[in-house]
Structure 1
Amino acid sequence: MKELHVHRTGTRGRPVVLLHPLALSGAVWDPVAEYLGQRHQVLALDARGHGESSWDGAEFSVEDMAADAAAVIEDFGAGPADVIGLSMGGSTALVLAASRPDLVHRLVLADATAWYGPDSAAEWAQRAERALGLDRRAQLEFQRDRWFADAFRASRPDEVERVCDIFVATDSKAHAAACRALGTLDARDRLGDVRAETLVLVGAEDYATPPAMSRELAAGIAGARLEVLDRARHLSLLERPDRWPVVAAHFAGEPS
């Protein structure tokens, strides 16, 4: 039986659900959760096979991860919740908001996409093979450069290594399965189903999900607002804590 682990921070206010990037866990959100936990109950979910969530080894999809997030919101009696998704978590949050609008109040999609392009299945299959074939630490050079801009890596080595430790601890088989799930993602026709007020964020230097992908999200979701963040790459919300108040203001329905 699948058991989903949730990192909980804060005890009051409307719940915020945090969905993490590929091959990491809900723990990656710790500094963000501490900030948002001053106003909200924060639920940071470990995706199946990641962190402390169990997994039966079967293939899964982004739609399955969205259903997991929906189950967590329902199990905690937390809906409708505000939701933040980063990278893989952003794609998951998008599908969640489109399929279960009753569970999502306001939405933040960071460094995410609805579709990785016509060659995505083959490209993500190669990523899956690399996840299985290389030692976890041998993959870190690629990941560090992808996740963080040069200046952040130089100024915050502690935070970079914290994220690296989470990556190293991730099950390679779950990492590979999640790669294959992203390779089959195509939620472009679901953008119009999103009813939640949406803020789209993307690092200006993000080459994993380039700003053009976020522009497509913002264009397809009614009323969505886009911010391109300079000095940030793929994990923009970790690199730019100055935007956390903007996220909090979005959830409060206040002008940022």
Structure 2
Amino acid sequence: MSRRRIQHAGRTLHLVEQDPPAGEARATVFLVHGYVLSQSVFGKVAGRLVAAGMRVVRTDLAGHGWDREPLEETDLHRLGDDLAAVLHQLRAEDPRGTLVALGHSMGGMALMTALDDHPTLAGELDGVVWLATSPGRMRTSSFGLPAGTAPLVGPLVSTLAPAVMTRLGADPAARPRPRPLALVVEAAHLRRSNFVTRPARAVGAHVLALHHRVPYAVMASLLRSILVHDAEDLLRRLDLPGLVLVGDHDRMTPLSHSRRIAELHRGARLEVVPRAGHLLMLEQPAAVAAAITTFVDRLSPSTPEDA
């Protein structure tokens, strides 16, 4: 595993790269994480893909993970520009190799935005994987609470959450220190909204720590962008092999969102992962990696040794 940096638009983009242990990689898979997470959530999936002969590249989105550059706000368009820059670089480094991009949750929305804002980008990819993400209509989401609460929760989150986060983010030094009871409640909601099975304590603690690393101003601006995200037109005209993966118990971007992506994106195949929630790459990494590997096999059936 190695790290490197790419300069783009005055910013430093942080990449983590893993190459297969022997021989030429049969594909490069670029993994993009979701809201208030980091590239680290793909660790188990990445290890399996590398063992299957693939090169895996991951990145921390602006304001997340290793990205500690001062950032007052951002949106899906800015994230999409960063993703396009990385994908252009990966294609330039291997003009003839198989290149697949995967976006989880907000990362999938940013990838959709990149494809919409950069019309030539689709021609540089061989396939795309939509992992527990959405084509839009996030204002109707229950955001992890029971599905029946969506008519109340959606508008409430849409109006109050960004405003509260913006106020808290106005003075980064004033970020309140989480109280023990608040941490317990937050951890319980995180577990219920993202997992089916109870995650290992270390996994839950890691995800919670990733949430707390993201500045409130970044959280607020991205949430506003997510709430107005609409990629249905892009998906209708996207001429690219696709795989849509979703957990059968996803409460953040429910199965209906993935079904809609599969309806709009011609040639995209929907696969539902059993006993998995929104963070299915942490809960069912073997199933996620196997689905990606099968998808890559269909794109490039011959390995370098067989060619």
Counterpart of 2:79 in structure 1 is 65
In 1: Cα distance, 2:156 partner to 2:84 partner: 29
In structure 1, the residue matched to 2:291 is: 246
1:49 pairs with 2:50 = no
2:188 to 110, 119, 141: 141
2:44 aligns with: 31
Q: Alignment identity in percent?
A: 24
| 1:1-256 paired onto structure 2 within 5 Å | 1-10=10-19, 12-13=24-25, 14-38=27-51, 39-55=53-69, 57-76=71-90, 77-78=92-93, 81-98=99-116, 99=119, 100-117=121-138, 123-129=157-163, 131=165, 133=168, 135=177, 138=183, 139-149=186-196, 151-153=197-199, 156-243=200-287, 244-253=289-298
2-side partners of 1:196 and 1:96: how far apart?
14
Judge conservation of contact 2:48–2:286 (CA < 8 Å) in 1: no
Residue 197 (structure 1) shift:
1.0
Point out the more displaced range, 209-218 or 120-129.
120-129
One-letter amino acid matched to 2:187 = L
Say which SS state the counterpart of residue 252 (structure 1) adopts.
helix
Quick check: which has more Rg, 1 or 2? 2
Residues of 2 paired with 1:252 and 1:217: CA distance? Answer: 22
- Alignment length, in residue pairs? 252
Give CA-to-partner distance per residue, 1:137-195, whole Å, 9 cap, x none.
7443322221111x242xx3332333223223233322222212212211111112322
CA contact (8 A) 1:10 1:42 kept: yes
Higher alpha-carbon deviation: 135-144 or 202-211: 135-144
Give the SS at the match of 2:127.
strand
**Does the aligned pair in 2 maintain the 1:7–1:45 contact within 8 Å?**
yes
Counterpart residue identity of residue 42, structure 2: W
Q: Is the 8 A contact 2:240 2:267 kept in 1?
A: no
TM-score, length basis structure 1 = 0.86
Distance 2:224 2:63 in 1: 14
Worse overlay, 39-48 or 93-102: 93-102
Contact 1:24 1:167 in 2 (8 A): yes
Measured in 2, the distance between the counterparts of 1:125 and 1:205 equals 26
Summarize deviations over 1:101-137 as a string: whole Å, max 9, x none. 0232111111111112456787345333455656567
Give the partner amino acid of 1:245.
Answer: A
Residues 187 and 204 in structure 2, CA contact (< 8 A), matched pair in contact too: no
Kindly provide the amino acid, as one letter, of the partner of residue 60 in structure 2.
D
How large is the Cα RMSD of the aligned pairs?
Answer: 2.6
User: Does the aligned pair in 2 maintain the 1:123–1:183 contact within 8 Å?
Assistant: no
Structure 1 residue 245, shift from structure 2 partner: 1.3
| Unaligned stretches of 5+ residues in structure 2 | 1-9, 141-153, 169-175, 301-307
CA contact (8 A) 2:73 2:217 kept: no
Alignment-mate amino acid for residue 146 of structure 1: S
Distance 1:196 1:23 in 2: 28
Where structure 1 has 5 or more consecutive residues not aligned to the other structure, the ranges are none
